[in-house]
């Protein structure tokens, strides 16, 4: 599949978002990539609407997982949508969703779909492997 110039630009926006937001915690630069009407749709409970909600997700995850870094495993675009499959890695050194720090290294996989509007991320839908994360943290029966 050959990407159009616009689709390539949309992919670049999402790549930069992962690089500066989740991987570096640069909320100002990440926020500049979000549309003023930004809307987040994920299973992660966070306070605040829109951009504030995304900032809370980034801040919470980076506080819970030291050295958090996101690697994009697959990324593609179709019109105004960008789909990314990624792996996040870090060390559980802070509370996350009520789970106290375990000191364990984690690997979290997820798939997110971004809608780009006016050169910015307007919506993000995410499916995160929270069950796999809870298993790694020893929070489920039979897990290590």
- Per-residue pLDDT of 4-62, as tens digits, reads 999 999 999 999 999 999 999 999 999 999 999 999 998 776 766 789 999 999 999 99
70-86: average pLDDT:
98
Contacts 24+ apart (CB under 8 A), 8-12: 8/77, 9/119, 10/77, 10/80, 10/82, 10/114, 10/116, 11/75, 11/76, 11/77, 11/82
In which element (H, E) is residue 21 found? none
144 pLDDT exceeds 60? Answer: no
3-state secondary structure of 136: helix
Of 47 and 3, the one with more pLDDT: 3
**Residue 25: what pLDDT?**
96
Identify the band that residue 140 occupies on the pLDDT scale cut at 50, 70 and 90: confident
- pTM to 2 decimal places: 0.92
Burial class (CB in 10 A: 0-12, 13-18, 19+), 44: middle
Domain boundaries, the chain: 5-136
Q: Which CATH architecture describes the domain 5-136?
A: Roll (3.10)
**Residue 133: what pLDDT?**
94
Cβ atoms of 68 and 62 closer than 8 Å: yes
**Residue 43: what pLDDT?**
79
% of the chain with per-residue pLDDT over 90:
85
In DSSP terms, which residues pair with 90 in a beta bridge?
Answer: 106
Listed in sequence order, the DSSP H helices in 21-66 are 27-32, 50-64
């Amino acid at each position: 599949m050959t990407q159009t110039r616009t689709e390539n630009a949309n992919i670049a926006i999402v790549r930069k978002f992962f690089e500066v937001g989740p991987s570096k915690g640069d909320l100002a630069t990440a926020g500049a990539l979000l549309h003023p009407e930004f809307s987040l749709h994920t299973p992660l409970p966070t306070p605040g609407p829109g951009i504030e909600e995304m900032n809370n997700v980034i801040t919470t995850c980076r506080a819970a997982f030291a050295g958090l870094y996101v690697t994009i495993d697959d990324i593609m675009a179709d019109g105004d949508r960008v789909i990314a499959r990624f792996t996040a890695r870090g060390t559980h050194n802070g509370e996350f969703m009520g789970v106290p720090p375990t000191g364990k290294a984690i690997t979290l996989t997820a798939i997110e779909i971004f809608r780009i509007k006016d050169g910015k991320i307007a919506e993000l839908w995410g499916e995160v492997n929270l069950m796999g994360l809870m298993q790694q943290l020893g929070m489920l029966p039979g897990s290590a």
